Amino acid sequence: METTARVRPASARERAERAEAGGGLPTLEFERELPYDAYVRTDILHGLQRPLSDAPGEMSFLVITQVMELYFKLIAYELLSVQEALRTDRLPAALDALRRTALHLQALNASWNGLRWMTPADFNKFRDLLGEASGLQSGMYRLVEFRLGLKNEALLRPFKDAAVSDDLRRAFHEPSVWDAATALLARHGHDLPPAVLDRNHGCEYEPSEAVEQAWVRVYRDDPERARLRELGDALTEVSERFAEWRYAHVAAVRRSMGAKPGSGGSNGLGWLERSMARAVFPELWSARTHM
């Protein structure tokens, strides 16, 4: 609401009149703050970077970490749209949101390029000042994982007093994107057992042969249901882009700190490598063996 109050709406007619009055040149005089600053909140955004050292690489590390946090928020937002669209059988809307999500993940993954220069010597110049701060404590990243269907109740514990706590608990206990997609398959005539459709969504997902065979039929025997194949393709793209994120994270850790223990108490590289083994939308991948 505060941003809305700071930004004055303008119609297409007003924009055209302004362009004509200025001869096509940009407006350079404003009575109040710059409209761009009012909308983007640059006063806040550019005040958030507060390095703890004089190390030249810390600003890169801090800004890119904050950029990633913003992408996590955007991706979590899109995944919620996917869930709601699938639940209400709005398949075109779900496909649009999944395709946007894949593009956001692609941009998120490109963020790692800004840290490719960082060696252990570079990181060590400011690492000790981070204390116990670790990317494993990102609530927004956990929200992305929960909405994708990667759930581990122990990982809720650090966020009991965090601002994102309510969203995390809701996402943990509600059906994930994968659960919503599976329920949609059942509504479109695929025979899936109650153990899949009525399961406790707060438990870690166990792959199902029935779900696997449903996707086999969608791709191999279902020529009249092209939209379901489109859904499978869009989900696969998101899964693949997310896997790329995890691999890039592992590669960045190898490059910048090797196999040293992590800042947040984990064994660092080993924890991340084990996390990579948990597949997103697993039956979409295993089904390919049987197509």
With helix as H, strand as E and coil as C, how does 104-168 read?
Answer: HHHHHHHHHHHHCCCCHHHHHCCHHHHCCCCHHHCHHHHHHHHHHCCCCHHHHHHHCCCCCHHHH
Tell me: the pLDDT tens digits for 154-197? 888 888 888 889 999 999 999 999 999 999 999 999 999 999 99
When pLDDT is cut at 50, 70 and 90, the band that residue 268 belongs to is low
| Mean pLDDT over each residue of the chain, to the nearest integer | 90
Q: Say if residues 212 and 290 touch (Cβ distance below 8 Å).
A: yes
| CATH pick for 58-290 out of 3.40.30.10, 2.40.30.170, 1.20.58.480, 3.40.50.300 | 1.20.58.480
State the pLDDT at residue 120: 92
* The two three-digit tokens of residue 146, written as one number: 């929960």
- Please choose, from the candidates 230, 234, 231, 238, the residue with its C-alpha nearest in 3D space to the C-alpha of residue 105: 238
Q: Say if residues 210 and 191 touch (Cβ distance below 8 Å).
A: yes
Q: What is the mean pLDDT of residues 213-241?
A: 89
When pLDDT is cut at 50, 70 and 90, the band that residue 14 belongs to is confident
Q: How many CB atoms lie within 10 A of CB 196?
A: 20
Q: Say if residues 143 and 130 touch (Cβ distance below 8 Å).
A: no
CATH 1.20.58.480 domain residues, the chain: 58-290
Residue with tokens 């199902």: 208
Which segments are annotated as binding site for heme? Answer: 249
CA gap 244, 115 in Å, rounded: 16
Main-chain dihedrals φ then ψ at residue 35, nearest 5 degrees = -55, -35
Indicate the burial class of 81 (C-beta count within 10 angstroms; 0-12, 13-18, 19 or more).
Answer: middle
pLDDT at 122 over 70: yes
Tell me: the pLDDT tens digits for 127-151? 999 888 887 889 999 999 999 999 9
Q: How many CB atoms lie within 10 A of CB 180?
A: 20
Which segments are annotated as binding site? Answer: 127, 249
Q: How many CB atoms lie within 10 A of CB 86?
A: 26
Which segments are annotated as binding site for substrate? Answer: 127
Question: What is the torsional sign of CA 32, 33, 36, 39?
Answer: negative
CA gap 257, 250 in Å, rounded: 10
End-to-end CA separation in angstroms for the chain? 51
Task: Give the percent of the chain with pLDDT over 70.
Answer: 94
State the pLDDT at residue 22: 86
pLDDT at 221 over 60: yes
Q: Say if residues 265 and 257 touch (Cβ distance below 8 Å).
A: no
CA gap 281, 232 in Å, rounded: 10
When pLDDT is cut at 50, 70 and 90, the band that residue 126 belongs to is very high
* The two three-digit tokens of residue 161, written as one number: 């007093």
Main-chain dihedrals φ then ψ at residue 55, nearest 5 degrees = -60, 125
* Alpha helices for the chain (secondary structure H): 2-6, 12-21, 35-40, 42-45, 58-87, 91-110, 120-124, 139-148, 165-173, 177-187, 194-197, 209-220, 226-257, 269-276, 282-286
Sequence-ordered list of residues with C-beta below 8 angstroms from that of 12, at least 6 positions apart, any chain: none
Instruction: Find the helix packing angle between 139-148 and 165-173, rounded to 10°.
Output: 10
Lowest mean pLDDT among 12-26, 36-50, 97-111, 255-269: 255-269
